[in-house]
Structure 1
Amino acid sequence: MKKYFSIINIHTLLVICVSLISSFISKYFHLFLNIDFIIVEIVIAFPLAFSLRVAFRRREVALRYLSLFKASLQSVVYAICDSKLDELKKSEFRKIATFLSEELVQYLARNQNDESRVQDASHLIYTFVRANRDVLKSRISFKIFLFVFRINESVEFLLATRRHGIPWGPKLVVLMAIYIFVIFYPAAFLNDGDASFSFLLITTAFRGFFLISFYNMLSLLEDPFNQKSPDGIRVFDFRPIYDSNTLLDISKVQPV
């Protein structure tokens, strides 16, 4: 439930406070302004829609690459476990694969901020396959390297997505326009007709709260791996299982 209240932050409090102050000043000093808020609404709507579209696109592509990472890494593990390597080597590779997936999800979830650890763990996959390519069949070795390339591509994209956010320019324009709106809206509202202070405050605060909630939602969606957001990708679901005890032994499966 706490995640659903994450759209309420310091900006929400500031917008409500500014609404209170601007409503009081406009009512007490009888301020009237003839302002067309269509331009302000356009300034808010278009950058906000653009930024939200970019944020959803980032989330969609991040899900695709997380799925590609998990599937590729599992395929490499299955190929190694089905090879002629001894059990000690197979166990070593499962530990390397587990280490890589754990380092990646911890970095994406912001539990650690050193991306070089993820890159080093990814390089261990290549080092292991190259060191044991003589034991592996050439055909299997070639297929494994194809999956390794997909793993590297997925890792680098996910690291770049975590490192870089959406363009800050549209977000700044939206935030400034929201504050301008709640500052001047009470005086413009009084220009069209008289209203009580409580009605003026509720109207201004509600509109401001509605707009700033969209902005805060955009801030949460900016990082698709944000575990505090209700829409954040559950990155820990993309940790494959490499423990040999959990792998299915086909010989023990009874026919139906």
Structure 2
Amino acid sequence: MHVIKDFLRIQSLQTIIVIALACGATGICLRFDVYFDLPTTLIGVAIIFPIVFSINAAYRRREEALGHFASFKGHAIALYYAHRDWVPEDSSEHANRMKQLIENLLHSIHHYFTAKNGDEDRFQEVYNRFSEISLSMEKLRDVGVSNTEISRCNQYMRAMMIDFEKMRNIRLYRTPTTLRAYSHVFLNTFPVLFAPYFANLSNEHNLSVGYLVAVFYSLILVSLDNIQEDLESPYDQIGADDLNLDVVDVYNRILFDKTDE
């Protein structure tokens, strides 16, 4: 059941349009006796290879985003533990403050990456959260935390900022635009270009054969293109393999005061 559900998720209006064009063009070729035996390897060279290349590139970007987000969360937890465990006396005030700041930062990052346009206000909000964390670390000096430990906290925050910027670059700079445009052009012209080939199959075998092959080719090619589109942005929460950025509730159970143990 899940397999069928996931398969249906990668279908779109473009699937219906391309199938309709392929069947319509095939019918026109049959009507006017236009038959050609075209090499099917042309489909692989012109359409499948560029799409598969783009899928591989998009998948690598998703894996990189996963790694950066994992690093970001790990450093955030380490920063919280520093506020909880490095303060010589009662640390609950500092731990609770950092817990709230990290939750606010995770919310801001989730809002920024899932927004359709990723506007500047949301981007500025993320760095406002980083600024609040930086100011929070300065308060540790007043309660006896050493400069070396403060420096370590700054390294944690620096790593978090770098991971965020790497995730942001994955969103801003996608797989080659010209290659995707090339694939879309050939994908949409394919039903017309190969209609004589499908008509030839119907003429040589059975009327339904040409139409069935046209439908299968269209379904396969558009599905591959839609898979690439879903992987293209790992943050938009549309594809089945997108990153789950709404993790505040999960990590809220990890960020606890040691007095609660």
Pairwise same-fold verdict (TM > 0.5): yes
Q: Which residue of 1 aligns with 2:109?
A: 104
Letter in structure 1 aligned against 2:34 = L
Q: Which residue of 2 aligns with 1:115?
A: 123
2:15 corresponds, among 8, 12, 15, to 12
* Pairing of 1:28-67 with structure 2 (within 5 A): 28-67=31-70
Deviations 1:22-47 (A, max 9, x none): 11101111112353343342121331
TM-score by length of 1: 0.86
* Contact map agreement 1:224 1:233 (CA 8 A) in 2: yes
* 2:236 corresponds to 1:226: yes
* Contact map agreement 1:182 1:205 (CA 8 A) in 2: no
- Please, which moves more after superposition, 134-143 or 52-61? 134-143
* Pairing of 1:169-184 with structure 2 (within 5 A): 169-184=178-193
Q: Which residue of 2 aligns with 1:154?
A: 163
Q: 1:244 to 1:8 in 2, by over 3 A?
A: closer
| 1:240 CA displacement | 6.0
Instruction: Give the Cα–Cα distance (whole angstroms) in 1 for the partners of residues 22 and 93 of structure 2.
Output: 67
Q: Equivalent residue of 2:141, what SS?
A: coil
- Please, which moves more after superposition, 114-123 or 185-194? 185-194
* 2:102 corresponds to 1:94: no
* 2:225 corresponds to 1:215: yes
Instruction: Give the Cα–Cα distance (whole angstroms) in 2 for the partners of residues 189 and 242 of structure 1.
Output: 58
2:133 corresponds, among 125, 139, 145, to 125
| 1:137 CA displacement | 1.3
Q: 1:238 to 1:161 in 2, by over 3 A?
A: farther
Q: Which residue of 2 aligns with 1:25?
A: 28
The CA RMSD measured in Å over matched residues stands at 2.6
Instruction: Give the Cα–Cα distance (whole angstroms) in 2 for the partners of residues 33 and 156 of structure 1.
Output: 53
Instruction: Give the Cα–Cα distance (whole angstroms) in 2 for the partners of residues 103 and 245 of structure 1.
Output: 18
Q: Equivalent residue of 1:182, what SS?
A: helix
* Contact map agreement 1:44 1:178 (CA 8 A) in 2: yes
* Contact map agreement 1:58 1:161 (CA 8 A) in 2: yes
Q: Which residue of 1 aligns with 2:76?
A: 73
Q: 1:147 to 1:240 in 2, by over 3 A?
A: farther
Instruction: Give the Cα–Cα distance (whole angstroms) in 2 for the partners of residues 240 and 38 of structure 1.
Output: 49
Q: 1:94 to 1:29 in 2, by over 3 A?
A: same
Q: Equivalent residue of 2:242, what SS?
A: coil
Instruction: Give the Cα–Cα distance (whole angstroms) in 1 for the partners of residues 13 and 140 of structure 2.
Output: 55
* Contact map agreement 2:65 2:170 (CA 8 A) in 1: yes
* Contact map agreement 1:4 1:229 (CA 8 A) in 2: no
Deviations 1:59-94 (A, max 9, x none): 111111111011100000000111147543432222
Instruction: Give the Cα–Cα distance (whole angstroms) in 2 for the partners of residues 198 and 75 of structure 1.
Output: 64
5+ residue gaps, structure 1? none
5+ residue gaps, structure 2? none
Q: 1:165 to 1:244 in 2, by over 3 A?
A: closer
| 1:174 CA displacement | 1.5
Identical columns (%): 19
TM-score by length of 2: 0.84
* Contact map agreement 2:84 2:258 (CA 8 A) in 1: no
* Contact map agreement 1:69 1:154 (CA 8 A) in 2: yes
